[in-house]
A and B are shown apart, each in its own frame.
Chain A
Amino acid sequence: MTVTGQEITDYVDRVRAALADLPPGVRDELTEDLPEHLAEVAAEGEGALVDRLGTPEAYAAELRAAAGAGEGRRPARFHRLAEARERAATQIRLLDRQLGPVLGHETVSDFLRPLRPAWWLVRGWLAALVVAWMVDGRSGLVPRLGGNTSMGLLLLIGALVASMWWGRRSAGIIGWRRQLHQIATAALLLFSFAVLVQVDERADTDVYNGYEQTSVDHRYERIEDVFVYDQQGRLIRDAQLFDQNGVPIRLGWPNCLDSSGAVPAPRNAYPYCPELAPFGAPGSPSIAPPAPAPTDSGTPTPTPTPAAPAPTTSASPEPTSTR
């Protein structure tokens, strides 16, 4: 026998595709004898089915005319759509059978079927991501609700359970419910893809971007400004702080207006706001360097002294000596 079962199946599929516009019941009736008929024809002699019976499309046309089935009840504009859909379905069935052996199964469907619970879990997770994204406008790989991880965890568990439940239930649905289910699944995949792309982009840009190398730690979060006093209790201006590696230490932020009325930019020079010095403002803004003051003027030396009483509380010997 030169005609294979595969050839018969394909021929039947193509005939059915050509009759796709008919109501399913009528089409089934017209083609129900076809496989066994083709088997008889095949057993009868040599040669391909197409050579002996003509193309499946011609066969379908003859069948349709002889049965008086005419055109289907569906409007003509759906005709082409239904045909294209049927052809696509035929192609998918064909691929399903052809690619099955590659995966070690008869068909790809056989391979995929046991994996369905895994898909249900993934679907639940994706749904949780999309919900978190709709609520917060952003999402990570773990869903959060309003930045709250435990609420996000509840959401995730809920979505997983719902997805598993629906997975067990949805197997038997047909008609418009099935179409709704397919549309919803497609929409979920599309949305979750968009969300994941967003997550991925953020993960990419977050690495060290916008950070300078500083030794700021959370313990210093409450520090707004740094005031450095020299041995004589004089405020040092534009002091620069470094750690053992020579990395600038960035602390605090400018909290006052400079002479031009603008907030000064953060820089590694403290204090940002000398006027806010805790132990009294410097008498004269002209004393910048911590070096021997007398060179600048004599006035600064006495003015910082009022600041000295405070350091005494810290039991430091120097301020006491100045008194």
Chain B
Amino acid sequence: MDTTQLLKGVLDLAVLAVLKDEDGYGYDILRRLREAGLTEVGDASVYGTLRRLFAAGLLTTYVVPSESGPHRKYYSLNTAGRDQLTRSGKTWRSFATTMDALLDDRGMAA
């Protein structure tokens, strides 16, 4: 099964999750996702998702001047973003549990 198809559905949740404890700029967020195991996530998908979450009012941004290189735009979760993360997290957990149970019932190995 193509993970890129699955990623489309959960990328919002994944991005919100990696921003839960620490603000980050675009490339930084991309690296966190890949380090977490989502190696197939596309650069443009992450940037597009960040723009969309920002436009939906779930993220706030601020610019940090950098001595070495260009200024970086940092994204951080606001209250609405945290609420969304909680809701989406629960939805995913429940969905994943349902899927696990479905597969377990039929004796599929993890």
Contacts and interface: CB of A to CB of B under 8 A. Distances in A.
A230 interface: no
B43 A66 contact: no
Interface stretch (A27-35, A95-103, A115-123): A27-35
Is chain B's interface secondary structure helix, strand, loop, or mixed overall?
A: helix
A64 B51 CA distance: 10
A298 B42 CA distance: 124
A63 interface: yes
Interface size class of B (residues with CB under 8 A): 20 to 34
A27 to B, nearest CB: 11
A65 B48 contact: yes
A69 B48 CA distance: 9
A36 interface: yes
Nearest to A33: B26
Interface string B71-89: 1110000000000000000
B48 A30 contact: yes
A36 B27 CA distance: 9
A229 interface: no
Contacts of B51: 29-30, 66-67
A79 B11 CA distance: 30
B65 interface: no
A66 B69 contact: no
Nearest to B45: A66
Interface stretch (A37-45, A164-172, A266-274, A287-295): A37-45
B110 interface: no
B3 to A, nearest CB: 15
B70 interface: yes
Contact of A35 (B25, B48, B70): B70
A46 B69 CA distance: 19
A60 interface: yes
Contact of A53 (B26, B43, B48, B49): B43
B4 to A, nearest CB: 10
A39 B70 contact: yes
A62 interface: yes
Interface of A: 29-30, 32-37, 39-41, 53, 59-60, 62-69
19 contacts: A30-B47, A30-B48, A33-B26, A33-B47, A36-B26, A36-B27, A39-B70, A41-B43, A53-B43, A59-B43, A60-B44, A63-B47, A65-B48, A66-B11, A66-B42, A66-B45, A66-B49, A67-B49, A68-B48
